[in-house]
Amino acid sequence: MKKTKTIALSLLLATSAILSACGSGSEETTGESNDKKVEEKSDFTVAMVTDSGGVDDKSFNQSAWEGITEFGEENGLEKGKDGYDYLQSNSDQDYLPNLNKLARSGFDLVYGIGYLLQEPVSEIAEQKPDTKFAIVDQVVEKDNVASITFKEHEGSFLVGVVAGLTTKTNEIGFVGGMELPLIKKFEAGFIAGVKEVNPDAKVTVQYAGNFNNASDGKTIANSMYSKDIDIIYHAAGATGNGVFTEAIDLKAKDINRELWVIGVDKDQHEEGNGKTKDGEEFNITLTSMVKRVDVAVKDLAEKTKEDNFPGGEIIEYGLTEGGIGIAPTQDNVSEDVLAEVEKFKEKIINGEIEVPTEPVE
């Protein structure tokens, strides 16, 4: 296994822009080498396999697909087998067949989106040593696999600060998808952030046991809000959509009730839009913990297209790299709270605070 590699997000964006500019053709440019470069660019193909949450989960899978779509459009590719595409998994039984199908279709780079695809990616990578694979949120120790990971606990700490300073009841909830080490990082960072600024606050934790059942998320949220919890942070994929639905339903019944949801992976502000029976509009998304999955998958596709595939390497994104943070939509967070978030962000980057990756008893 090669040494872990950390890449600054600002450099990623700059690199992507430069590569894109260098790859664009010009009417005044002639020559066989340039024609070949343009042809190679148009021939590159990339695809992804979703986890069971689906490509439109308004969270992790959707962010990855947005990154691949942006890469495809910027490089003149069309959706489909000759450009960029995805296969949706309805259950864990679909992971390996979907990966195999994309590999057999000849895609140059195939992504497995989510830690649940670790074993299927490892297996298919061994079967197809000439195909380049990448996995997001897990590590696969194969020379033809690049592993993309994030420091979710750091971003979760920051939204924990927001929750701890915003709660009126000192009762806060965390809803996880499945009780696995990755989601425990979200839980650990969130609780640490809450307790750092509000030691009196209590954080109630519950796991749904899945990432693709909004009804479960709605049921859990209903139980939590009925116990005076006024803020819920979810790390539950499509299951978390049910948390938003329940919060909106409750707010619609009582517009004066203060309750919030903290989104995950991408800016979920729009998921919090609601309306009362009288037509009064509101939004219950306090903030979101953003993982730039879109930038990560796009950057890796660019590198692979340029023959710089980081096979066998771990690429990690945290606050320092700009790959983790709170959502740009900050309408519902006070300026004082945002100022505190910035202070703690700098403390984490400077090493003054080490955010735990496992919940502390």
- CB 87, CB 103: distance < 8 Å: no
In eight-state DSSP terms, residue 170 is S
The first and second tokens of residue 304, run together, are: 């692979």
DSSP letter string, 272-310: GEEE-TT--EEE-EEEEEEE-HHHHHHHHHHHHHTT---
Q: Are residues 104 and 171 in the same domain?
A: no
Q: Are residues 266 and 305 in the same domain?
A: no
Per-residue pLDDT of the chain (361 residues; tens, 9 = 90+): 444 444 444 444 444 433 343 443 333 333 444 443 344 445 899 999 999 888 988 778 999 999 999 999 999 999 999 999 999 999 999 999 999 999 999 999 999 999 889 999 999 999 999 999 999 999 999 999 999 999 999 999 999 999 999 999 999 999 999 999 999 999 999 999 999 999 999 999 999 999 989 999 999 999 999 999 999 999 998 899 999 999 999 999 999 999 999 999 889 999 999 999 999 999 999 999 999 999 899 999 999 999 999 999 999 989 998 889 999 999 999 999 999 999 999 999 999 999 999 998 6
What confidence score (pLDDT) does residue 30 get? 37
Q: Are residues 10 and 83 in the same domain?
A: yes
Asked whether residue 43 is domain-assigned, the answer is yes
What confidence score (pLDDT) does residue 29 get? 38
What confidence score (pLDDT) does residue 53 get? 82
The first and second tokens of residue 141, run together, are: 């120790």
Asked whether residue 251 is domain-assigned, the answer is yes
What residues pair up with 145 in beta bridges, in sequence order?
133
Q: How far are the Cα atoms of 221, 230, 261, 298 from residue 19, in angstroms, in the given order? A: 45, 46, 39, 12
Asked whether residue 324 is domain-assigned, the answer is no
pLDDT digits (tens, 9 = 90+) for 251-275: 999 999 999 999 998 899 999 999 9
Q: Are residues 17 and 136 in the same domain?
A: yes
Asked whether residue 356 is domain-assigned, the answer is no
Q: Are residues 91 and 169 in the same domain?
A: no
- What residues make up the domain containing 91? 5-150+292-317
pLDDT digits (tens, 9 = 90+) for 35-57: 433 444 458 999 999 998 889 88
The count of domains in the chain is 2
Buried b (16+ CB within 10 A) or exposed e, 33-60: eeeeeeeebeebbbbbbbbbbbbebbbb
Q: Are residues 118 and 13 in the same domain?
A: yes
Percentage of the chain exceeding pLDDT 70: 88
Q: Are residues 271 and 336 in the same domain?
A: yes
Q: Are residues 136 and 163 in the same domain?
A: no
pLDDT digits (tens, 9 = 90+) for 63-106: 999 999 999 999 999 999 999 999 999 999 999 999 999 999 99
Q: How far are the Cα atoms of 6, 99, 323 from residue 172, in angstroms, in the given order? A: 33, 39, 26
Q: What is the CATH number of the domain that holds 201?
A: 3.40.50.2300
Q: Are residues 236 and 309 in the same domain?
A: no
Asked whether residue 93 is domain-assigned, the answer is yes
Asked whether residue 100 is domain-assigned, the answer is yes
308/316 Cα distance (integer angstroms) = 17
Q: Are residues 258 and 159 in the same domain?
A: yes
Single pTM value for the model: 0.77
Asked whether residue 50 is domain-assigned, the answer is yes
Q: Are residues 186 and 96 in the same domain?
A: no
Asked whether residue 112 is domain-assigned, the answer is yes
Q: Are residues 63 and 168 in the same domain?
A: no
